[in-house]
Chains A and B, each alone.
Chain A
């Protein structure tokens, strides 16, 4: 198994998760990185990703796992970067014994919303993570839905550059744009639809919290 950490920026952030999977699988063929195929009725390349990135959100920390044991990590990274579309770039590649199953393990993601004006409302925005309840209403597939997001906000930090917020991902899940939209309705913030960046992914257990990078480093094997 190989895992590649890659970025997803610029216009390719407007490509949906399912299309991104297709883009990555085609990249592997172009890069001549041979991966195993499933042995079912419709064979497909055995690949895995971390949690889908909401459409329009940029990312500095996406993870793509492929079943390849024949090449070194350096070769995979070099060939991947030679064939991947612009806006995506592999940051590192590591060999693993088996699929780290990030979708099941990752439960927190940190995002950054660039909005310098947020510093004026630092206390109010950081208080979001301390609320007992906070209901938001949004349009879900044509119907209005209400969600209590207070338990889903883990941490919020406001800096001179903007807002860093860490929220629940997976099950239960909070979409970053729903939180930023709610913030914008209460405070005069300007966060563009294509400006929020996922900057880190975490695995939180009852007593520890580690980044996915640390988790991968702990599982790494030599090529």
Chain B
């Protein structure tokens, strides 16, 4: 536990708008919490969304929401920061602020002695729906901008300068966006071009970047209860639906030796018996074979289990799987037909699928989990039939190649495609709920007749709200406030999400969801257009045009650049 009594100028509380078990699993929270506590003059504490029963008790007893580390009310902190990783957490941010007794809007807090509210996390790719809640928003990687922000805060606090002076100075830091400094202008309902830009901050050299190994180990079981080793940031595959791929560019890796040392330190300092490798596409780490060999002959040699997530279908290797129990194996072809996989630039061929399935069956796997997206641009019923064909292919190959008589179990899971900001599909329309239901029903009808096949699908209603919030602008804050007022919270939990609540909130605010689900013109100004995330709109547009011709773009490699624009923030493949 970091020293909570050291002399310090300011105290910061990192809030995660989900329950403890989820928040403590977040690698970003782990890094920033320990980084800030390792700095001089600042103490960082944590706060998670109290679950509904505890939240009710806090309200009933009039106890304001407090930090987990020293039980200090949030209002007594200098800075309160939220990590927002999912659109459906927006109401939980308001829930936590409400419990803490902090007014929702920055403008309402100006004359009050309240903490400076900041936000960060993947949702800042389009921070506009929640922008007016915060005094400052960290665009990019917290190791850089949050660190500079807190150092500057200490300087200004020591000098006795005002909050307004501080925010004016903080706005000049790369990756710090002060929402009150930018006013979106609408003419005839259309957003006018911005006259300013906020540049995303990144860690230029990941290998030497801060990565804590002496971390807090929860005493209760959390969602991802294991040591996590971050291999690299960014992704070179360029799947056109994937926001993370473009958001985390440029591609920066940790060196093999650094990872082996960190992995061994992590296990020694935490006592975890599982070590997991984390990145957007682990199979693309430049020295994966050496890393696995090194870990298996070192820290993971006997009692520590090595977990392998995110293996790309075409890179499946038996060696990676180890000698453990053969349970089920998960693959994500994302689309059923070759044509549609070309549209989304998921560079795996029918042959890759066939070879991988054959290898897995011969190895003895009896369970397959397949992930697909539905509602992709240009998708037709034939593409959905492709999903059925892959299922049939697995069954046929099992009959042909399997030595066992035990039946193969196949789980097909579909998510609804959402045209997220900062992807080549950001201009595309979101399919309507009726279309989502049609596609889910289409697959359900056909898969239910195949034995030992299970079909799971993501809620169409949640996907619709998620899409609207992901592509939203500042006009949506009243809707989020209204939804919260009507009882929406923990919207990411299927048992608490109520579409009717959101529908009512939109109706009462007089805002239609269709505006945020329609196809946007390529010349339209996008709500997040003032943020320079690295990857340029020009590149995203060129990728969109290629998708319309079902033309693929090969993955980028060192010395083989696609000029996406991320290089201007920092060098790829450094």
Contacts and interface: CB of A to CB of B under 8 A. Distances in A.
B112 interface: no
B220 to A, nearest CB: 5
Contact of A29 (B1, B219, B220, B267): B267
A25 interface: yes
A19 B220 CA distance: 6
Interface in B65-112: none
A27 B217 CA distance: 10
Given A12-B219, A86-B1, A25 B271 contact: yes
Contacts of A83: 271
Contacts of A149: none
7 contacts: A25-B271, A29-B268, A30-B269, A30-B271, A37-B303, A43-B302, A85-B219
A29 B221 contact: no
Contacts of B270: 26, 29-30
A30 B268 contact: yes
Contact of A37 (B219, B221, B302, B325): B302
Interface string B118-157: 0000000000000000000000000000000000000000
Interface string A68-79: 000000000000
B502 to A, nearest CB: 34
User: Which 4 A-B residue pairings sit nearest by Cβ, starting from the closest?
Assistant: A26-B271, A29-B271, A30-B271, A15-B219
Contacts of A16: 220
Contact of A43 (B1, B269, B303): B303
A20 B325 CA distance: 27
B272 interface: yes
B269 A23 contact: no
B9 interface: no
Interface string A25-59: 11111101000010001010100000000000000
How many interface residues does chain A have, given as a range? 20 to 34
B273 interface: yes
Given A37-B302, A37-B303, A19 B221 contact: yes
A29 B302 contact: no
Contacts of A43: 302-303
A98 interface: no
B272 A26 contact: yes
A206 to B, nearest CB: 40
Nearest to B219: A15
A219 B221 CA distance: 35
A125 to B, nearest CB: 31
Nearest to B325: A41
Contacts of A134: none
Given A22-B221, A45-B303, 15 more contacts: A16-B220, A20-B219, A25-B273, A27-B271, A28-B271, A29-B267, A29-B270, A29-B273, A30-B268, A30-B270, A32-B268, A41-B325, A43-B302, A83-B271, A85-B219
Contacts of B219: 12, 15, 19-20, 23, 85
Contacts of A32: 268
A26 B221 contact: no
Interface string B264-295: 00011111110000000000000000000000
Nearest to A45: B303
Contacts of B267: 29
Interface string A147-187: 00000000000000000000000000000000000000000
Contacts of B268: 29-30, 32
Contacts of A86: 1
Contacts of A20: 219
Nearest to B1: A86
Nearest to A42: B325
A20 B268 CA distance: 19
Nearest to B225: A22
